[in-house]
Amino acid sequence: MTKQILLVEDEENLLKTIKLNLNLEGYEVTCAETGTQGVACFHKQRYDLVILDVMLPELDGFAVCKAIRLENKTVPILFLTAKGSGEDKVFGLKAGADDYLTKPFHLEEFLLRVKILLRRAGQRDKSTTDDQFFFGPNSVHFATYEIKGTDGKSQTLGKKEIMLLKLLIERQNEVVSREEILEVVWGEDASPSTRTIDNYILAFRRYFEENQKQPRYFHSIRGVGYKFTSS
């Protein structure tokens, strides 16, 4: 089966060159030139590999990577960027990337890294992916959007609710700012008010907290953002 690759790059000439060479290797390539286009493409189709520039219009590559990781923890992500400092590489890997190649690069090395990432992905046991999270009497199944709260009943949440829930859980014990939540969960294509996020947090408390007025798990940090703690 032909491998599907999502390429997000805003330099037109480089985009065409990379796409051509990937096509010559037998890969099917979908191109996006902005961060929001990249996220939208990922929502619509399954990909075997994502190649991201960092300095993108609308949403930078780090934000795109985080948004992708909220939906899929296993698809390989390769950063291809001029931002080559050690700090940038660490930030990219912490955002969820599997590899980081700086520009200018040797085409042969790039194609080899693509091949290695695709091979590793094919060898992964999909059954080992962490789709569920348990805290107290509660559980979340990210793949099916299903939760079980303090009342013991199962219910299905919406996509944005699950994305926000996953972001907070993956960053547990850290304060996540409202700005980051809007950027990662909603992107630039929609502009909910901070009240929308507040309402989601209130809903999480209804689902998961035994005492909503003294929350154990979902905390609002005034003027900053929100924090999830599992104990």
User: What's the pLDDT score for residue 205?
Assistant: 96
Counting runs of H as helices and runs of E as strands, what totals does the chain give? 8, 12
CA-wise closest residue to 73 among 128, 144, 113: 128
Divide the 231 residues of the chain into consecutive groups of 10 and give the mean pLDDT of each group. Answer: 93 95 96 94 92 92 90 90 72 83 90 92 53 90 92 91 92 90 75 81 95 94 91 69
CA distance 110 to 89: 16
Q: Residue 39 and residue 44: Cα distance in Å, rounded?
A: 9
Distance CA 9, CA 148 (A): 40
147's tokens? 């939760």
Tens-place pLDDT, residues 55-74? 999 889 999 999 998 888 88
CA dist 64 and 62 (Å) reads 5
What span, in angstroms and rounded, lies between the C-alpha atoms of 127 and 145? Answer: 17
